[in-house]
Amino acid sequence: MNASPPSLSKTRPHVAVIGAGPGGLAAAMLLASSGVRVTVFEKDAVVGGRTRTMTAPGGYRFDIGPTFFLYPRILAEIFEACGARLEDEVDLIRLDPQYRLIFEGANPVSIEATPDLARMEAEVAKINPADAAGVRSFMAENRVKLEAFRPVLERPFPGVMTYLAPEVMNGLKHLRPWLSLDQELQRHFSDPRTRLAFSFQSKYLGMSPFRCPSMFSILSFLEYEHGVFHPRGGCGVVSEAMARVAESVGVDIRLNTKVDRIVFEGRRAVGVEAGGRLHAVDAVVVNADFAHAIPGLMEEEQRPQWPDKKIAEARYSCSTFMLYLGIEGQLDLAHHTVLLAEDYENNLAQIEAGIIPQNPSLYVQAAASTDPSMAPPGHSTLYMLVPVPNLLGGADWATEEPRYRRLALDRLKAIGLHDIESRIRYEKIISPQGWQDDYAVGYGATFNLAHNVRQMMHFRPRNRFGKARGVYLVGGGTHPGSGLPVIYEGARISADLLLQDLGMARSERSPSHMRANAGAFSSQVDSLGGSENATKQSAGD
Ligand SMILES: Cc1cc2nc3c(=O)[nH]c(=O)nc-3n(C[C@H](O)[C@H](O)[C@H](O)COP(=O)(O)OP(=O)(O)OC[C@H]3O[C@@H](n4cnc5c(N)ncnc54)[C@H](O)[C@@H]3O)c2cc1C
């Protein structure tokens, strides 16, 4: 199949985005608001990727993946660039307490993690009075660290010379790659359980605090400093709002449209092939999961830095065994509960070694306790996440699934749920195999490539990707990494690079400016050839 040469660069460039996950939607918003014509191809019938909220029979609503919405600032800025306000589109409920932590063991203890530092000191004292003073020193140190490290997270890493940029060198002083997150926290907290309270968040990256780089202490800092939010209606409403705003600035989102491959002319990406049709474009943004999609989308010769063998041999995050339960009646649970098994460290070592833990730690969300829209009246929902090895561990989940379901339900007794089974009215499971088969997540590694130092910054698949020209990555597989705020920031980095390559600048519209000029902006879009019909037709050329 011959692709017609990129025709729009002299008029209005046209970009294809593969995948309507958080990274793809954020990139689409930024590109379209800067005047680029954008077509998003999404293989599923809904937007959001892993960040979607499902409505199950009976009216139960479940977040499929993310449930902790952190640091809305970056997304708010992306909405602003489109002339919209995040707070007008999504009702973000700040949680206090943020979550309940239950430590099993000889002396079990539970605490309510709160952003109110005086109360948090009292909670930490329940674990170990000697550690209470560490709360404020931890916060003060990480406040400095985040500020210093922010420029590293906000810029691309095209090569080793980037490390010599003054702001990067300043940020990297805080990286301390020789220290794990747990070792870093020993400076503030003597009790291993307190350290876990401030480091289990490395699980958001699918990593163990005993191996995760020390810089990720900023994760728990972000929660205490900037809040843990529940978007009313579930995290999926954020993705839906992004799609809505993206469409309002002219993005064409095509659902149920899987891209089979990126088409190249020589070293330049000139189109995407979807459903046997070629769509000619000037550049391609890939949001689809890196490990799962890249081998099929691009020939190896276009990505010599990441041949198939290297992708197969990279280190990947853990996976998760998920149970989504619709429950009759109320649940006496916090919005978020994290159960930390006594042998937490061993659990994590087992997961890394490919062994499925028999006494796992787990995380449970009971969202209807905060947000009644998540369940029908008189009912509740339970989202249960158990960290397990990814598929490289070799388990046969067809066999494991019923056994592990039983084990997971039994584990709920440890958080006080003894009578749950007779009240289950809806049930869905996603195993590591399900993540791979149904959600296109490579190796079922739910949090993408691991975030060890050798897979971060310029070692991670680059935002401007491969040897080919015109291919950009967004999502958890590229720099800066996984987790929603980081993914939004990564989309901003990639969109900026793409705009730079097109000789365009990112728009910085203020909401009031945009509202006043909304009509003018859409007629400008039309005059550039971006009216609804024109867009649909020529994207299908
Ligand atoms: C269980 C779980 C819990 C998590 N919890 C949190 C949390 O609490 N907080 C947080 O910040 N982060 C969390 N994350 C991590 C991360 O924020 C989300 O996974 C996020 O959705 C990843 O976004 P993404 O942009 O990388 O892509 P994805 O969400 O994976 O989206 C990629 C999209 O590409 C589409 N696609 C794939 N192949 C093709 C193709 N060939 N053609 C067209 N479309 C294609 C997919 O259908 C999908 O829609 C969690 C993840 C999981 C799985």
Q: How confident is residue 468, by pLDDT bands cut at 50, 70 and 90? A: confident
Which one, of 536, 498, 538, lies nearest residue 252 by Cα? 536
pLDDT, one tens digit per residue, over 136-188 is: 999 999 999 888 877 767 766 666 666 556 666 666 666 677 788 999 999 99
Kindly report the average pLDDT of the chain as a whole number: 88
| Per-residue model confidence (pLDDT) at position 15 | 98
pLDDT, one tens digit per residue, over 66-81 is: 999 999 999 999 999 9
Task: Compute the distance between CA of residue 110 and CA of residue 127 in angstroms, rounded to an integer.
Answer: 8
Write the DSSP string, 39-77. Answer: EEE-SSSSS-TTS-EEEPTTS-EEESS---EE-THHHHH
Token output for 67: 């449930």
Q: Which atom of ligand 1 is nearest to the CA of 292?
A: 38
Range of lowest pLDDT (203-207, 442-446, 489-493): 203-207
When pLDDT is averaged across residues 370-390 and rounded to a whole number, the result is 97
State how beta strands 252-254 and 37-41 pair.
Answer: parallel
CATH number of 14-91+235-314+449-539: 3.50.50.60
| Per-residue model confidence (pLDDT) at position 451 | 78
How far apart are the CA of 290 and the centre of ligand 1, in A?
11
Task: Compute the distance between CA of residue 73 and CA of residue 75 in angstroms, rounded to an integer.
Answer: 6
Residue 515 has pLDDT above 50, yes or no: no
The helix-helix angle for 432-439 and 397-411 (nearest 10°) equals: 120
Q: Which helix (H) or strand (E) holds 243?
A: helix 236-248
State how beta strands 277-280 and 268-274 pair.
Answer: antiparallel
pLDDT, one tens digit per residue, over 390-407 is: 999 999 999 999 999 999
How far apart are the CA of 66 and the centre of ligand 1, in A?
9
pLDDT, one tens digit per residue, over 46-66 is: 999 999 999 999 999 999 999
Task: Compute the distance between CA of residue 492 and CA of residue 512 in angstroms, rounded to an integer.
Answer: 22
The helix-helix angle for 217-226 and 134-153 (nearest 10°) equals: 100
Q: Which atom of ligand 1 is nearest to the CA of 435?
A: 53
Token output for 433: 């195999």
| Per-residue model confidence (pLDDT) at position 497 | 95
Q: How confident is residue 106, by pLDDT bands cut at 50, 70 and 90? A: confident
Residue 535 has pLDDT above 80, yes or no: no
From residue 198, alpha-carbon distances to 62, 91, 274, 444 in Å are: 27, 27, 45, 26
Is the pTM higher than 0.85? The answer reads yes
Q: How confident is residue 5, by pLDDT bands cut at 50, 70 and 90? A: very low
| Per-residue model confidence (pLDDT) at position 536 | 29
How far apart are the CA of 64 and the centre of ligand 1, in A?
10
Tell whether ligand 1 has an atom less than 6 A from the beta carbon of residue 43: yes
Which one, of 83, 90, 45, 55, lies nearest residue 69 by Cα? 90
- Mutation choice for ligand 1 from 29, 51, 272, CB with most ligand atoms inside 8 A: 51
Tell whether ligand 1 has an atom less than 6 A from the beta carbon of residue 287: yes
| Per-residue model confidence (pLDDT) at position 525 | 27
In the three-class reduction of DSSP (H, G, I as helix; E, B as strand; rest coil), residue 180 is classed as: strand
480 or 509, greater pLDDT? 480
Q: What is the DSSP letter of 178?
A: T
Task: Compute the distance between CA of residue 197 and CA of residue 35 in angstroms, rounded to an integer.
Answer: 45
Q: What are phi and psi of 316, to 5 degrees?
A: -120, 160
When pLDDT is averaged across residues 180-209 and rounded to a whole number, the result is 91
Contact 37, 14 (CB under 8 A): yes
Contact 98, 336 (CB under 8 A): yes
| Per-residue model confidence (pLDDT) at position 183 | 94
Q: What are phi and psi of 265, to 5 degrees?
A: -115, 110
State how beta strands 319-328 and 92-94 pair.
Answer: unpaired
Report the percentage of the chain scoring pLDDT > 90: 75
How far apart are the CA of 375 and the centre of ligand 1, in A?
24
209 or 471, greater pLDDT? 471
| Per-residue model confidence (pLDDT) at position 160 | 62
Task: Compute the distance between CA of residue 478 and CA of residue 463 in angstroms, rounded to an integer.
Answer: 6
How far apart are the CA of 51 and the centre of ligand 1, in A?
6
The number of CA neighbours under 13 Å toward the Cβ of 427 is 13
Tell whether ligand 1 has an atom less than 6 A from the beta carbon of residue 49: yes
Domain ranges of the chain: 14-91+235-314+449-539, 96-226, 318-444
Report the percentage of the chain scoring pLDDT > 70: 87
Across-strand partners of 507? none
How far apart are the CA of 331 and the centre of ligand 1, in A?
29
Task: Compute the distance between CA of residue 332 and CA of residue 328 in angstroms, rounded to an integer.
Answer: 13
